[in-house]
Amino acid sequence: MIYLDYSATTPVGDAAIRAIADACKAPGNPNSVHSTGLSSAKMIEADRENILKLLGLDSEIFELIPTSGATEANNLALKGVFERFSPKGKKHIITTQLEHSSIAAPLSALQKAGAEVDFAPLLSDGTVDIEGLEKLIRENTLIVSIGAVNSETGIRQPVEKIARFIKEKYPSVLFHTDATQAIGKVKNDYSDVDMLSFSAHKFYCFKGIGGLIKRKKTVLIPQMKGGSSTTKFRSGTPCSELIHSMSAALSDTLCDFEAKYERVKRLNSYLKNELAKIPDIVINSAQNAVPQILNFSYLGTKSADLQHYLSENEIFISTGTACAAHTDMSAAILMLTGDEEKAKSSVRVSISFMTEIDEIEKLVRLMHNA
């Protein structure tokens, strides 16, 4: 089996497995006040601080709300601040047309509740036109939400620059980024963001755990109510085992990061160059895309048919994001290229530092025969 769908989910690493086994030895409910409960709560707090530190964030300024993943975190961020500030007239939200469905869907729901949503214009490479974005900001703008890395194409948005620009010129506007496809792939400075979402199964941890990081001064309305917890922003008993594994997985992923990143860059360059030699293949990922994601179209062949052909040969790729895998056309590719044929024939190969060169070579050989 050759797995080339790391952006959908990564395999669980040894660090996460060891950590969850260790955490299972401390069975206390972190909401309990007896010694085992307090011990569990203390472990969660240490893991929260470790994750913030690994992301270069000050625990005096930021806090981590553990969630079931980025979808919940995105919903909490968008709905939570809208419910908090919309009664004061702050109802305007700016995003892009490249966002994940866990951004688009809650925004659609918020529009029915009175939200006014605008889409920031994009440059030819798919990145946000910051001057165009600024023209959209108005007095009642509440939040700008822009994903750090697009899950289908790997386009890397200049979130550091956007966050700094908003903080300096429009301090009353919140900036949120869905960093799900960025954390573990590239390093960003998130110190100017107000909120950040992520899922741990993208960096070699278990599914079902992630988080929303926010500035402590940023107030939002909890979306889950009832029952005590270690955070007032998400009710319920936190899973100390998964949180501990998430902390360990992130530590392990970022260890020797530069060497891992350079290895992925070399693999990406080789794959891109070899695919470009094949007639009817068009590379859709721009130069600014992260090296872990390569999107291409095999013109004249439907995405699902190509995926099936490779799957029969034990190579597993994606026709898009796993959360939108059953559509017959990539909305992102259509929006970026304006070409329906490219959108209907696009696939995503996502690699990792764990990917071997012979796996890439087999993919190329099969594409020559497709």
- Mind listing the pLDDT tens digit of every residue in the chain (370 residues)? 999 999 999 999 999 999 999 999 888 888 787 888 888 889 999 999 999 999 999 999 999 999 999 999 999 999 999 999 999 999 999 999 999 999 999 999 999 999 999 999 999 999 999 999 999 999 999 999 999 999 999 999 999 999 999 999 999 999 999 999 999 999 999 999 999 999 999 999 999 999 999 999 999 999 988 876 778 899 888 999 999 999 999 999 999 999 999 999 999 999 999 999 999 999 999 999 999 999 999 999 999 999 999 999 999 999 965 454 446 789 899 999 999 999 999 999 999 999 999 999 999 999 998 8
Q: Could you list the active site residues?
A: 323
In this chain, the answer to whether the domains covering 14-254 and 256-369 adopt an identical fold is no
How buried is 1 (Cβ within 10 angstroms: 0-12 exposed, 13-18 middle, 19+ buried)? Answer: exposed
pLDDT for 327 equals 64
Domain 256-369 has CATH 3.90.1150.10: yes
The pLDDT score that the predictor gives to residue 228 is 67
- Return the number of other C-beta atoms located less than 10 Å from residue 155's C-beta: 28
Q: Does domain 14-254 have CATH number 3.40.640.10?
A: yes
How high is the pLDDT of residue 10?
98
Terminal-to-terminal C-alpha distance of the chain: 18
pLDDT of residue 178: 98
Q: Where are the domains of the chain?
A: 14-254, 256-369
How far apart, in whole angstroms, are the C-alpha atoms of residue 173 and residue 93?
A: 10
Both tokens assigned to 346: 């696009």
Contact indicator for 322, 8 with CB cutoff of 8 Å: yes
Q: Give DSSP secondary structure letters for 160-183.
A: HHHHHHHHHH-TTSEEEEE-TTTT
What pLDDT is recorded for position 70? 98
Residue 39: per-residue pLDDT: 87
Q: What is the pTM (predicted TM-score) of this model?
A: 0.95
